[in-house]
Amino acid sequence: MSSKTPFLQNLDTTFVNLWSLLRKLTAQGFIGRVHVDLGDYSADIYLNGSNTPLVREIDRATNSETLEEGALHRVVLRTRESAGLINVFSGADEATVQPLAAPSQSPPVQEPPAQAESFAAPPVKNSDEPPAPAVVNEGPNVEQRPVTVDQPSASVISDEGVYRAGSFQDWPAILAASGELIAAVERGVNATGQDFSSLFHAARLELADDYVFLDPFAQTLQYANGIVTLKTEPAVSVFVTGLSEALRRTVNAVAVGDRARRVRERVALEMLPVVRTRTDLIERSGWRAQLDRIAGTAVM
**pLDDT by 10-residue block (mean), the chain, 300 residues:** 77 85 84 91 88 84 82 77 89 82 46 36 40 39 36 33 49 92 94 92 91 88 93 89 94 92 91 89 88 86
Residue 10 is classified by DSSP as E
Instruction: Evaluate whether 175 touches 236 at the Cβ level (below 8 Å).
Output: no
How far is 161 from 133, CA to CA, in rounded Å? 12
Q: How far apart are CA 150 and CA 175, in angstroms?
A: 19
Q: What is residue 178's predicted lDDT score, i.e. its pLDDT?
A: 94
pLDDT at 140: 40
What pLDDT is stored for residue 51 in this prediction?
67
pLDDT given at position 3: 62
pTM of the full structure:
0.49
CA dist 132 and 296 (Å) reads 28
Alpha helices in the chain (DSSP H): 18-27, 72-81, 106-119, 139-144, 171-190, 196-207, 236-254, 260-277, 279-285, 291-295
Q: 53 — alpha (psi -120 to 50), left (phi > 0) or beta?
A: beta
Separation between Cα atoms, residue 58 and residue 41, nearest integer Å? 6
Amino acid 263: pLDDT? 92
Phi, psi of 94 (to 5 degrees): -75, -25
Quote the radius of gyration of the chain (alpha carbons, Å): 21
Neighbours of 63 (CB within 10 A): 13
According to the model, what pLDDT value does residue 85 have?
Answer: 93
Burial 267-276 (b: 16+ CB within 10 A, else e): bbebbeebbe
Q: How many CB atoms lie within 10 A of CB 20?
A: 12
- Interior CA angle at 204 toward 199 and 206, to 5°? 95
Q: Do the beta carbons of residue 180 and residue 226 sit within 8 Å? A: yes
Residue 230: phi and psi, rounded to 5, are: -140, 125
